[in-house]
Amino acid sequence: MGVPQNGIFAFGTSAHGYFELDLAPGAVAAEVVAAVADHLLSETSMQAVNLVAGFRPELWATVAPGRMPAEVTGFTEPVVGPDGFTLPATQHDIGVWISGPAPDAVFDGGVEIVTALAGKAVLVAETMGWSYHRDYDLTGFIDGTENPKQSEAPSRVLVAPGEPGAGGSVLLLQQWAHETADWMSLGVPDQEAVIGRTKADSVELDDRPATSHAARTDQDEYGTILRRNTAYGTVLDHGTMFVGFSATRATLHAMLRSMAGLDGPRDALTRYTRPLTGAYYFVPSVDDLGAVATADR
């Protein structure tokens, strides 16, 4: 198996930054991808941050044919449910997730990647995130309960050995705004019915509603997703950055269609959170990045 980008599985960080870039006018795709690869491969453990870099699937396929799973495409069309609920498509060319021990380290890492790509790519969206009580999201529930064990995660969410793009992963990056006042108006039993789990210890309800978040995103039905979500924002404007890795785009997109109510009831959690963005990025293995990097990095 190709060596994956280690930041995918780097747990324990409290500060996060999400940076999305588009190619600059006139930029040569291969040169931009090489610049990203050079920067990522030059990072050392002494710099105290973890970088994960992904590309719009069509961009990576153009630059590195044969190193890309055939079924992976960008988030080019919104997912619209029967009642009009919409998960927007806001695809960009490059997605970078930086995690570290503190906001200043993440900020510096963001400045460095933008500087490295000056003249080649333009920063068009950035969000700074942070861990909320380690394993919780802003609903007050534990997040990522169904994540695979760390020892099993690589074999579950990376492209399999021998396949094009082996060691890579598909990243779904979304920003979700929370309707906190509405959420906080619910009592704990009603919140638990929305999530489908107990609030105190994240045990799945025996009688979870079909509309619950746990039911609409059940990994036994839709496949394995490694969630690395964080909180973002301020008291006035906040929510969740959904950071989901899977071996296939199909797993991630089936989950979104389920949440929107296209193969059953709409996910009740979407009554209290609003998706603002949506993009798929293919996160190549370190080996495949090395194949497109410049020789004199």
Flag whether 297 is in a domain. no
With CA atoms as reference, report the closest residue to 100 among 119, 113, 116, 118: 113
Question: Which amino acid, residue 153?
Answer: A
Number of structural domains in the chain: 1
Does 243 map to a domain?
Answer: yes
CA 217, chain centre distance (Å): 15
- Of the listed ranges 26-30, 42-46, 75-79, 177-181, the least confidently predicted one is 42-46
The H or E element containing residue 253 is helix 249-260
In a domain, 1, yes or no: no
Residue 281, token pair as written in the block: 């990025």
Catalytic residue among 137, 143, 267, 288: 143
User: Please, which pLDDT band fits residue 48 given cuts at 50, 70 and 90?
Assistant: confident
Indicate whether 244 belongs to any domain.
Answer: yes
> What is the span of the domain harbouring residue 111?
6-292
Active site residue 190: no
What does the pLDDT look like over 122-179, one tens digit per residue?
A: 999 999 999 999 899 999 999 999 999 999 999 999 999 999 999 999 999 999 999 9
Please give the mean pLDDT across all residues of the chain.
96
Asked if the model's pLDDT at residue 297 lies above 90, the reply is no
Contact 202, 264 (CB under 8 A): no
For the record, the structure tokens of 56 come out as: 């719009």
For 4-13, write each residue's pLDDT tens digit: 999 999 999 9
Other beta carbons less than 10 A from residue 127's beta carbon: 18
Partners of residue 231 on adjacent β-strands:
130, 240
What pTM value is reported for the model?
Answer: 0.97
